[in-house]
């Protein structure tokens, strides 16, 4: 199978392509590629890709990647000539990421990080495609006591028996799958360790604090922090993460796992207050019990991304929050309707 496009555009597969980050990735890839978007809408929504459905270089397939996927069996992909051209790049993003529904999707999370990872890698072997796996900062374990930024060579520590191990240890296992396929099949597979990301198209009322803060501020409802006033995090804007993944894919060779995130530590109270100011809201800030999936995380050391990929996050927090507010205002009625 050809590992380079035989036609004018390469074929790219994005699993989880209707999700928050995945849909932004599809937007960016369509500038110079044909995109096959796979999603089962477990924690994503069709509205994220509605604007792409009429693009002749885009095709959505509703499919659960934990089940084997044969792109040559779908007549709607005939125009992509997959049988002759193959697939050149695979971005594997599919995995449930719902804070409020985390317990509901534990088995799907486990399968996405094992069977889903296997199926994505098998497609990479079949088509000799380059693969990017979207891992996460949780592979490093809890935020370190000294507050240092995690470097990619750190091993981390995760409780394999914890209630959230299907995600935390699942992501570590998925990285092991990538390493094994590289060693056994000589597959070009790259690992992006993504830190907490925000921006337009995040699901509402799902425990993701930024979109819920904005919606509640606009409605004059209390802003709920799942934790206390000491909750801190880093926040990277979604298009910066997408740019980092594309740079990783375009690199002439794999440089090992790469951190993609912000290295600026931000108290979530400051973010909430900033959003109240930016929206002119009189809402109050309240505190609720921690969610299993929404916890304080460590920060990345970005030296590798900066020096070897020329990547740094460009969107400031104020700029990113403004973009997210504008999107929420423009789509609020539609987004609210989608939740019920």
Q: Give the Cα separation of 33 and 26 in Å (integer).
A: 9
Please check whether residue 191 is in contact with residue 175, taking contact to mean a CB–CB distance below 8 angstroms: yes
Estimate the crossing angle of helix 317-338 against helix 209-219, to 10 degrees. 70
- In whole angstroms, give the CA distance from residue 17 to residue 120: 13
- Asked if 207 and 226 count as a contact pair (C-beta separation under 8 A), the reply is yes
Residue 147 sits at φ, ψ, to 5 deg, of 75, 10
Cα-Cα-Cα-Cα torsion 194, 323, 246, 301, nearest 10 degrees, comes to -40
Instruction: Tell me how far apart the alpha carbons of residues 258 and 264 are, in angstroms, rounded to a whole number.
Output: 17
Residue 167 annotated among the catalytic residues of the structure: yes
Rounded to 5 degrees, what angle do the CA atoms 106, 200, 113 make?
Answer: 25
257 vs 273: CA distance, rounded Å: 35
CA count, 13 A, side-chain hemisphere, 255: 20
Determine which one of 91, 105, 127, 167 is catalytic.
167
Q: Catalytic residue positions?
A: 167
């Amino acid at each position: 199978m050809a590992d380079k496009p035989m036609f004018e555009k390469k074929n790219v597969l994005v699993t989880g392509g209707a999700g928050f980050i995945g849909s932004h990735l599809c937007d960016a890839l369509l500038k110079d590629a044909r995109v096959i978007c796979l999603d089962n809408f477990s924690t994503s929504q069709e509205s994220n890709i509605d604007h792409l459905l009429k693009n002749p270089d885009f095709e959505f397939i509703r499919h659960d990647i934990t089940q084997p996927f044969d792109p040559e069996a779908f007549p709607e992909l005939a125009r992509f000539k997959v049988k002759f051209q193959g697939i050149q790049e695979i971005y594997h993003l599919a995995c449930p990421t719902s804070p409020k529904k985390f317990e509901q999707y534990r088995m799907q999370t486990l399968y996405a990080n094992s069977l889903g990872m296997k199926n994505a890698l098998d497609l990479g072997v079949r088509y000799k495609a380059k693969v990017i796996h979207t891992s996460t900062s949780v592979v490093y374990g809890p935020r370190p006591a000294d507050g240092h930024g995690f470097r990619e060579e750190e091993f981390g520590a995760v409780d394999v028996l914890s209630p959230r191990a299907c995600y935390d240890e699942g992501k570590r296992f998925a990285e092991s799958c990538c390493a094994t396929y590289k060693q056994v099949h000589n597959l070009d597979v790259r690992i992006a360790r993504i830190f907490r990301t925000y921006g337009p198209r995040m699901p509402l009322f799902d425990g993701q604090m930024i979109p819920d803060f904005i919606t509640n501020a606009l409605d004059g409802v209390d802003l709920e922090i799942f934790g206390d006033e000491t909750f801190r995090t880093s926040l990277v804007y979604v298009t910066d993460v997408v740019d980092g993944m594309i740079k990783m894919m375009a690199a002439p060779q794999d440089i090992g796992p790469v951190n993609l995130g912000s290295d600026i530590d931000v108290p979530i109270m400051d973010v909430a207050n900033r959003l109240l100011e930016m929206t002119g809201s009189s809402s109050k800030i309240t505190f609720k019990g921690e969610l299993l999936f929404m916890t304080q995380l460590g920060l990345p050391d970005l030296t590798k991304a900066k020096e070897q990929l020329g990547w740094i996050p460009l969107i400031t927090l104020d700029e990113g929050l403004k973009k997210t507010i504008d999107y929420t205002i423009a789509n609020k009625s539609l987004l609210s309707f989608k939740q019920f």
